[in-house]
Every structure is written in C-alpha cells, then in structure tokens.
Amino acid sequence: MPRVALTPEAADVLRGLRAEHGDLMFHQSGGCCDGSAPMCYLAGEFRTGGSDVHLGDLAVDEFVIPVWMSASQFEYWSHTHLTIDVVPGRGSGFSLEAPLGIRFLVRSRLLSDEEL
C-alpha cells in the first residue's frame, strides 16, 4: 500500500538534483524551525537504522528514491498519506534543493479504511 507520492513539480526538481548529485533519499524531519519537512540527501548521507521506518520508494523515471521517517514519529503519522511537493522558499537544514530557492514540502491526506 503506497504511503508516499510525488507531485510532478517535485519530480522535476528531483530529476535535476539527481543529474547534479547522484542517487537520492528523503528523511522526514520533525521539530523546530525547518522541521516537519522532508529532507533530501545524497543516498547514504543520512544513516538510517533500527529506529527508522522505510515508508516507501518514489519512482522518478528509472531511478528510485527511498523515503524514511523515525519510527517514533511514524507512530503519529501512520494514518496519513504523504505527497512530497515543492514550493518557493529558502532552504533549511542540509537538504539539497535549498540553494535553488525552493523547498520540499509534505502535503498530507488521511488514508482511507481500505488503504489502512
């Protein structure tokens, strides 16, 4: 059951980032300032482990971008579906898109009973 998706605009940005940097990953952040936002890194830059949940993979053309979240945060998010979008903005954290003057953003909807 897919929990994550992409808008076409976000997919375009990811194509550009992959061409520039290589394979990518997302980790959904929580907390302060730039938190509660998806962070885009080079694959492997952020070390996931037993305290993380693999939410799913985003397919952009022939490449795949895994999306992760901390397991404790997932307990509160598990009933929602996440769509990664992009808006004009100024950075945050060490996410790769920030220098482009844009910011990835999560849009959420409740999962239906069938999806759960």
**Nearest-angstrom CA–CA distance, 94 and 112:** 34
Map the footprint of another protein across residues 14-53, applying CB under 8 A: 27-37, 39, 41, 45-47
**Nearest-angstrom CA–CA distance, 93 and 42:** 14
Among 6, 10, 67, 106, contact with another protein (rule: CB under 8 A)? 106
Q: Which tokens is 111 given?
A: 């999962």
Q: Which stretch binds another protein (CB under 8 A): 1-9, 55-63, 81-89?
A: 81-89
**Nearest-angstrom CA–CA distance, 113 and 116:** 5
Give me the 50-69 binding string for another protein, x by CB under 8 A, dash otherwise: --------------------
